[in-house]
Amino acid sequence: MPENIKLSDEDAVVAARTAYDALPSTEQQALVSNYSTLVQAERLIVYLKGELPVTPATEEGDGLSFWQKNFYIGYIIAGVAVVALVCYIVLTTMRKKSNAEVNADGEVENKEASTDEEK
């Protein structure tokens, strides 16, 4: 198998997988020292085809990082934060406008201040 896998190497990767799967026992498969290289090559072919965003696989995991597995959670959190910010700005602006009054000169006066003086 080539060291730098390209999409054109897919046949070689498939052939390597077929040869590995053809080994008659799991004991013989366990003797294959570069099995992780085969898995990484397979995942890279899938990535190059555009079918799955992946990082190289390890023997312990499937090659997907925590952030790739939870891709949409980040977007949901960001969306909620943006909505909360927009709501805060709108409500603050509405509150300021409801507490303000324009006098004959076009100046803005605070209703709360004038009602305190009237009492």
Shared domain for 58 and 77, answered yes or no, is no
Shared domain for 58 and 105, answered yes or no, is no
Instruction: List the structure tokens of 88.
Output: 């805060």
List of residues 6+ apart from 13 with CB closer than 8 A: 1, 5, 38, 41, 42, 45
Query: Which domain, by its residues, includes 87?
Result: 71-118
Percent of all residues in the chain with a pLDDT value above 70, rounded to a whole number: 62
What pTM did the predictor assign?
Answer: 0.43
pLDDT tens by residue, 48-75 = 887 765 555 555 555 555 655 666 677 7
> What does 51-83 look like in DSSP terms, one character per residue?
S-------SSS-S--HHHHTHHHHHHHHHHHHH
- Residue 1: closest CA among 41, 47, 49: 41
Query: Domain total for the chain?
Result: 2
**Greater model confidence, 8 or 1:** 8
